[in-house]
Amino acid sequence: MNISLVLKVAGVGLIVSVAHQILQKSGRDEQATFVSLAGVVIAMLLLVGEISSLIQSIRNAFGL
């Protein structure tokens, strides 16, 4: 696993949490929820490549 991937996910989490707090304090709870949801989707898109690599490694290990 590459350390840059970990830093990207942490950066997305940091930005999303700050945006969520700002929106929530200003009374825009619905937009804050959408920002959090978008952050989760972005993080999952970053991790999809690593997950497919892991599944391929498992298939190779078992000869499938």
pLDDT per position as a tens digit, 16-29: 999 999 999 999 99
Query: pLDDT value at position 64?
Result: 75
Residues 53-60, mean pLDDT to the nearest whole number: 91
- Considering the entire predicted model, what is its pTM? 0.75
For helices 3-25 and 29-62, angle between their N-to-C axes, nearest 10 degrees: 160
CA distances from 13 to 19, 24, 45, 61 (A): 10, 16, 13, 33
Q: Is the pLDDT of residue 1 over 90?
A: no
CA atoms of 39 and 12, how far apart (whole Å): 7
- Choose between 38 and 63: higher pLDDT: 38
The contacts of residue 7 (CB under 8 Å, 6+ apart) are: none
Residues 38-43, mean pLDDT to the nearest whole number: 94
Type of residue found at 6 = V
